[in-house]
Structure 1
């Protein structure tokens, strides 16, 4: 089981299943792109009910919410509880006149959960990062490319990763993972 449980599989059969790795579609979440200076970060964290990390490649989370650092003034906010509209309103009220940008991307984004002892191997077929758990440890997140699709990769467990991507890229990313999984079966 993952150390970070905000993403849960939706209960359907895996999108991809191979010896040592599987890929599941994640359950829906409220998702926000948040940008702002330090003054906005300080106010948005408590309003979102989890602090916004300020260290590169890091994340912060509770059981139902997570904030992923994407840049010096940019975060991806994920919530498994509450409606996107309600959460948006709470953050906006807390920020008041503080300069910021908060965009609901719940309908734009979706996620895949890649898990199993060969999950890193499966991902490294199209992703050129060192995913050894001593280098890219649990809790780390980064924006990167999976082949030609922009994704956010978040390690949520020793053998579990979440790929956040645009909904329109999902068939492409899942198709590549399925193709590589066939290789894993014969390896």
Structure 2
């Protein structure tokens, strides 16, 4: 019996409209990668960065959030090709690659007060000197675990879909102070 692929429709958990400094980002394909040993470039992702760093573009990046752990993200629809490329490039090495695109949602925080907005719920120094572009970390925002990624001047907040409405509302409320 031949199996046919089944694709489930996943309704967005955040409003698609842009509202000032805080906005929901489009869906993306994401992976949790665990890889010990020498860090390499694989599957079109640069895995060579130090701990708490991110390599790539805002749309396609590898954020190193643990000694042997990365959050990989690429535009929606590119996941299967990225997964196949990672499998080929890492062949012969011990690694774990888990698709987590269905689990996460992403929120952009931008503008001159982006770090201040995030600091309403994150007890880390997110200033340009302490958390410059190219930085990434796993932390808490209020009561939710998040991954904060900074590939440029803006911040990307990755969180579980179940926490996304809370995180989005928290950031929207903090942004009200700045207009």
Q: How many residues align?
A: 166
What is the SS of the residue equivalent to 1:168? helix
Separation (CA, whole Å) in 1 of partners of 2:82 and 2:45: 12
Among candidates 39, 49, 52, match of residue 47 of structure 2: 52
Shift of 1:83: 2.8
Among candidates 157, 164, 175, match of residue 170 of structure 1: 164
Shift of 1:87: 1.8
What is the SS of the residue equivalent to 1:154? strand
RMSD: 2.2
Shift of 1:93: 2.7
Bigger helix fraction: 1
Deviates more, 1:166-175 or 1:73-82: 73-82
Shift of 1:133: 0.5
TM-score by length of 1: 0.80
Shift of 1:50: 2.7
Match of 2:11 in 1: none
Q: 1:92 to 1:123 in 2, by over 3 A?
A: same
Q: 1:34 to 1:172 in 2, by over 3 A?
A: same
Among candidates 104, 111, 127, match of residue 109 of structure 1: 104
TM-score by length of 2: 0.83
Please give the per-residue CA displacement for 1:57-89, whole angstroms capped at 9, x wherever unaligned: 111115752110111100011112753222212
Separation (CA, whole Å) in 2 of partners of 1:180 and 1:64: 25
Native 8 Å contact 2:55 2:151 kept in 1: no
Separation (CA, whole Å) in 2 of partners of 1:74 and 1:177: 27
Match of 1:29 in 2: 28
Q: 1:92 to 1:24 in 2, by over 3 A?
A: same
Gaps of 5+ in 2: 1-15
Gaps of 5+ in 1: 1-11
Native 8 Å contact 1:54 1:72 kept in 2: no
Please give the per-residue CA displacement for 1:31-64, whole angstroms capped at 9, x wherever unaligned: 000001125x43xx23x21320341211111575
Separation (CA, whole Å) in 2 of partners of 1:181 and 1:59: 25
Within-5 A mapping of 1:9-158? 12-14=16-18, 16-17=19-20, 22-39=21-38, 41-42=39-40, 45-46=41-42, 48-62=43-57, 64-80=59-75, 82-158=77-153
